[in-house]
Structure 1
Amino acid sequence: MPVGLIPVLLPFLLLLSPLVALYSIARGARLTAWRLFVRGGAPVPVHDPQVARLKTLRTWAAVAVSIAVVAALGSLRDLDQHLTEHWATLLLTPWLLIASGPVVLGVLIWLAPPTRRATMRAALRGPLRQLGLFFGTLALIPALFYGLDLLNPSHVGGNLGTLLILACVVAGMWSVFLFLFASATVARTGFGTAAVHPATPALLTSVLVWEIAAIGGLPNGPPVLAYVLLVGGPATVTALSCWEISRLRSRYGVRLRG
């Protein structure tokens, strides 16, 4: 870079440096969440590329429909409300999984032949481990702020106090990002419950979308369109889950009673 450009680019570099630092913190938290809940979890017993592609297509179709509805009927306030609901759903999904997962897993274990039940119960160790890690990512946030209160770096003074405050702020931001990425990851993997039964993620997904629809209520817009959006999203997800379970039975020999 020519030396003469440095004074010109310096204000832009100073402006971008906080964004670069924030991206680095978020990226580190995302990699940690991936190591804890994906690479460190149990491998998925069955991976169907066609089902995976259709799930991706359905996700992008849902995003496109949401954008089209907001653009056609909504305002900036509606857009803000839509984004708020999206974040609320992200944070709510793991807790719905924690509430609904034991019921679905209990039914699957009860339906299984007696010779399979012990193996399925033993496979619960993986999901329970991920559940403990998830609670750990949540507990890390108040623990860091409590540690900051005990340390009270502002009383140290000087450069050391400034560095301690900066380190605590960075650690707090990293812990928040870690919890958000952990929430998104366990919502996608279902705490690794596929290790207990390959059909568990599909069943959990079907239960969750109807629970979220019931909690969220009617979307904004004309009544007919609102009911179509309310029922259409969960219905398409349920149909896709039924197709996934059907393919597990026909192509891989996986049955709900097995």
Structure 2
Amino acid sequence: MNAWNPGGQPPYDPRAGHPPQPGPYPPPPQGYPPQPPNGGYPPRIPHPYGPQPYPPHPGPPVSPGPLRRLWLRIGPIHTARRVFKPSRPGIVDDAFVARVQKIRTLVGLGAVVWMSVAYKVAQSVGDIADNRLSQSWNSVLMLSVTFPVAVGVLLALAAPSARRELLRRAARCFGAIVAIVAAVGVFPAAVLSGFVDGRFATSPAMAVVTYGTTILTFLWVVPFMFWGIGLALVHVFRTADIHETVPPLLAMTLVWEMTLVDLFTGAYAGVPGPLRVLFMLGAPVSVTAVGLWELHRLRAHYGITVRDMLMRQPS
């Protein structure tokens, strides 16, 4: 008798031919009680389209190869984002403001397309795209001229102790301007130098180098240029790196400048007078309204004002 056999009975051996002796514990139950069909669960209804396969088990994430990683790092789209999007640490990025700006841009673009089709301002969809691209490039050029003037005004109004910091923050904005102008200048430079015509392909090896470089340059420069123009206008040459209030102020200034250019160049010719005035004033008024609302939102929700950009103490 021990702790595992308190009754002191010998273990039952079926080969010995004698039944187990009664002990202080009841004998174990023989077998299992009858079970209900399907374990008591309701019957399974077959799928109307037969048995369905189990979804595949997701495997480990596949990392891109070295060439793919290199392209993602130095590709034109990724490079344009690094060059033209603001990246100052601690910058306020309001997603709601960005959504409103996108809606305003899409509504304005839709109105221009409708007017161009309804009043035969453009003959085809390609003409509309060319006009939009030309206007975008003109806006980039106008902004490239306006930005240095705006920086000079900021330096004149800012506190003397803040001027060095403002210049340091504006350096990346000037770099973005140089990048987009250089990207657009690649094409006339390649044509004028004779690089595209094969002037430097004096041997089979140089021909391969020349034409290969031309193809790769065009494949990289074209997407960088188009993506860069869009990002440069959306982020106003990443001027949020200077201060969050600079992009709305510059956007309002730029849109009124472009309205004056349209007025003196006779834009929207052939459109009835009242509708022409409506379209010419629609862009500056809507951009000004969004810009003023953005400045108010920055002040009300984040405590950011123009005085903070000038780094002047309240009087």
Q: Which of the five TM-score ranges fits, normalised by the shorter chain?
A: 0.7 to 0.9
Identity %: 24
Residues 44/242 of structure 1: CA separation in 2 closer, same or farther (3 Å cut)? farther
Q: What is the rounded CA distance, in whole Å, between the counterparts of 2:253 and 2:170 in structure 1?
A: 20
User: Larger radius of gyration, structure 1 or 2?
Assistant: 2
Q: Are the aligned partners of 2:198 and 2:211 in contact in 1 as well (CA < 8 Å)?
A: no
Residues 208/168 of structure 1: CA separation in 2 closer, same or farther (3 Å cut)? same
Report the CA distance between 1:222 and its aligned residue: 1.0
Query: What is the letter of the counterpart of residue 285 of structure 2?
Result: A
Report the CA distance between 1:188 and its aligned residue: 1.9
2:78 to 27, 31, 53: 31
Q: Are the aligned partners of 1:193 and 1:201 in contact in 2 as well (CA < 8 Å)?
A: yes
Tell me, yes or no, if structure 1 residue 95 matches structure 2 residue 149.
Answer: no
Tell me, yes or no, if structure 1 residue 235 matches structure 2 residue 285.
Answer: yes
Report the CA distance between 1:44 and its aligned residue: 7.5
Q: Are the aligned partners of 1:45 and 1:198 in contact in 2 as well (CA < 8 Å)?
A: yes
Report the CA distance between 1:251 and its aligned residue: 1.6
Residue in structure 2 matched with residue 11 of structure 1 by the alignment: none
Residues 108-257 of structure 1: matches in 2 within 5 Å? 108-142=154-188, 144-145=190-191, 146=193, 148=195, 152=199, 155-157=202-204, 161=207, 164-217=210-263, 218-219=267-268, 220-257=270-307
Q: Give the stretch that moved more between structures: 57-66 or 128-137.
A: 128-137
* Cα RMSD for the two superposed structures: 3.2
Structure number with higher relative contact order (C-alpha < 8 Å, ≥ 6 residues apart): 1
Residue in structure 2 matched with residue 64 of structure 1 by the alignment: 110
Report the CA distance between 1:47 and its aligned residue: 1.4
Structure 1, residues 195-218: CA drift from partner, whole Å, max 9, x if none? 212111101111111111221234
Q: TM-score, normalised by structure 1?
A: 0.74
Residue in structure 1 matched with residue 99 of structure 2 by the alignment: 53
Q: Give the stretch that moved more between structures: 175-184 or 192-201.
A: 175-184
Structure 1, residues 154-210: CA drift from partner, whole Å, max 9, x if none? 5435x9846753542342353244333322222222222112121111011111111
Q: Which runs of 5+ in 1 are unaligned?
A: 1-23
Residues 86/44 of structure 1: CA separation in 2 closer, same or farther (3 Å cut)? farther
